């Protein structure tokens, strides 16, 4: 999810880097917009280093890209912490004299404010009126905590602790109050607009097999050709499926053991041949097969049984590659009636076409029921970073698009699988052959 984190100039700003870190660890992309006064407490380099995004305070800094409008339109959630009495007053009055307050006037997504100030300021009629007005307009203004303030004084006015703010964010997301972008295209999902809640056991009775990670192709016993896949997307899919009631097998290609989720059967593999064997072994009993692994397209034509040695003449051994079989295509070919096969495609886009164009061509080529097309680059797709995904059907038509953390993308994928199974049930029932339940 794209979050704007506004920071105004109160001493509580010193706690906000912890909040920023937690948001990033949960997979959110966070842009920090401090006020000039906030930078007196925590400097721009701290915000930039922790958010990996630039930090500016004035609308004139990003005048060429009209940042206050661009950032406001892209935001899916705004958090202002701490929100000082001054910030609350400016927001309530609609004053736009810096980047943060100007952006607050352009956002249409939910806004969560965490006030922090001295008790007298919090209790002043002006602040009370500003808070009431903001709440009336739908801004989620938290009550400050009661406790120690800047000095020895205590009372209401303390900013809630970062973990309490994280809980408030989670509650807000769970309430489903975030913007529904369904009018913008074929359908958009994020963690709060998931149509099938994770608490719904809508995958109960389904056996799903998911490949994850990246395969390795050995040149000799110690060297291999590999790729950058961390396996996190496949793990998120496995975790979400298990939570939604499925019986899950995770075919894990070279995944760090500490990342493996509980409650799923794990089959560890290394090479493409092993991964193909594991998927085909599982396929006859599976209702859903997901190929989320990054499979090596090529392997060395021969692998040395012993370690390849350097020679004194400096001649480098030739590396001849042969193509690996396409596991997804073979699963599609062997698909039994009613079985759903899902593929993933990581694309960068190039001179020959955009991410989506390459994705469409691949959807037609592979024939999977659903193909999740990921835009990958230096800051998207690999590792613990936010993801964006277009879900295409076998004709290359976009079914839905989603973005956010890998958990959000996993939810989008499972929602689409559930919808597909329900549509098929309906079609069968319409044709007089069904009982209304997914073919399981």
**Does residue 213 contact residue 234 with C-beta atoms inside 8 Å?**
yes
DSSP string, 97-153: -SHHHHHHTT--S-EEEEE---HHHHHSHHHHHHHHHHHHTT-EEPPPEEEE-SSS-
Decide if 130 is catalytic: no
| Least distance from ligand CTP to the Cβ atom of residue 247, Å | 21
> Does residue 363 belong to the site contacting ligand CTP (CB under 6 A)?
no
CA–CA gap between residue 7 and residue 82 (Å, rounded): 6
- Residue 313's alpha-carbon distances to 48, 310, 317, 318, in angstroms, are 50, 9, 11, 14
Quick one: which segment of 188-196, 314-322, 323-331, 408-416 binds ligand CTP (CB under 6 A)?
A: 323-331
DSSP string, 38-61: GGGTS-HHHHHHHHSS----STTT
Q: Which of the residues 325 through 354 are near ligand CTP (CB under 6 A)?
A: 326-328, 343-346
CA–CA gap between residue 105 and residue 85 (Å, rounded): 18
Applying CB under 6 A, among 295, 370, 400, 416 the residue interacting with ligand CTP is 295
Task: Closer to ligand CTP by CB, 163 or 350: give it.
Answer: 350
> Does residue 293 belong to the site contacting ligand CTP (CB under 6 A)?
yes
Task: Give backbone dihedrals phi and psi of 2, rounded to 5 degrees, phi first.
Answer: -90, 115
Q: Which of 224, 228, 216, 235 is nearest to 376 (CA)?
A: 228
Quick one: which segment of 71-79, 176-184, 290-298, 402-410 binds ligand CTP (CB under 6 A)?
A: 290-298
Size of the site for ligand CTP (CB under 6 A): 12
Annotated active-site residue in 227, 254, 324, 374: 227
> Does residue 53 belong to the site contacting ligand CTP (CB under 6 A)?
no
CA atoms within 13 A on the CB side of 64: 0
> Does residue 224 belong to the site contacting ligand CTP (CB under 6 A)?
no
Task: Closer to ligand CTP by CB, 303 or 361: give it.
Answer: 361
> Does residue 251 belong to the site contacting ligand CTP (CB under 6 A)?
no
> Does residue 270 belong to the site contacting ligand CTP (CB under 6 A)?
no
State the residues that interact with ligand CTP by CB under 6 A.
291, 293, 295, 297, 324, 326-328, 343-346
Residues taking part in catalysis: 227
């Amino acid at each position: 999810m794209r979050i704007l984190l506004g920071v105004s100039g109160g001493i509580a700003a010193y706690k906000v880097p912890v909040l920023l870190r937690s948001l990033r660890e949960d997979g959110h992309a966070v842009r920090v917009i401090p006020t000039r006064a906030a930078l007196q407490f925590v400097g721009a380099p701290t915000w930039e280093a922790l958010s990996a995004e630039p930090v500016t305070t004035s609308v004139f800094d990003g005048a060429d890209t009209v940042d206050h409008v661009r950032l406001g339109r892209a935001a899916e959630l705004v958090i202002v912490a701490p929100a000082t009495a001054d910030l609350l007053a400016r927001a309530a009055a609609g004053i736009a004299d810096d980047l943060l307050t100007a952006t607050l006037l352009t956002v249409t997504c939910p806004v969560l404010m965490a006030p922090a100030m001295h008790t007298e300021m919090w209790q002043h009629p002006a602040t009370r009126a500003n808070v009431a007005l903001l709440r009336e307009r739908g801004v989620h203004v938290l009550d400050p905590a009661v406790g120690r303030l800047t000095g020895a004084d205590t009372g209401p006015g303390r900013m809630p602790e970062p973990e309490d703010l994280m809980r408030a964010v989670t509650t807000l997301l769970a309430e489903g109050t975030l913007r529904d972008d369904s009018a913008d295209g074929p359908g958009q999902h994020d963690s709060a607009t998931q149509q099938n809640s994770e608490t719904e056991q809508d995958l109960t009775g389904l056996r799903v097999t998911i490949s994850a990670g990246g395969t390795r192709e050995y040149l000799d016993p110690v060297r291999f050709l590999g790729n950058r896949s961390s396996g996190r997307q496949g793990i998120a899919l496995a975790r979400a499926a298990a939570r939604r009631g499925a019986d899950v097998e995770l075919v894990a290609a070279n995944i760090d053991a500490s990342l493996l989720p509980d409650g799923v059967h794990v089959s560890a593999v290394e090479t493409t041949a092993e991964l193909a064997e594991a998927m085909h072994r599982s396929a006859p009993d599976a209702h859903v097969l997901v190929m989320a692994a990054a499979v090596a397209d090529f392997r060395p034509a021969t692998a040395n049984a012993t370690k390849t040695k350097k020679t004194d003449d400096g001649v480098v051994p030739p590396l001849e590659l042969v193509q690996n079989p396409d596991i997804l295509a073979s699963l599609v070919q062997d698909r039994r009636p009613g079985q759903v096969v899902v593929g993933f495609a990581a694309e960068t886009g190039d001179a020959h076409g955009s991410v989506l164009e390459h994705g469409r061509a691949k959807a037609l080529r592979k024939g999977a029921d659903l193909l999740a097309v990921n835009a990958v680059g230096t800051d998207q797709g690999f590792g613990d970073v936010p993801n964006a995904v277009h879900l295409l059907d076998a004709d290359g038509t976009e079914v839905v698009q989603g973005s956010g953390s890998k958990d959000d993308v996993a939810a989008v994928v499972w929602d689409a699988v559930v919808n597909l199974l329900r549509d098929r049930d309906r079609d069968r029932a319409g044709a007089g052959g069904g009982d209304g339940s997914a073919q399981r």
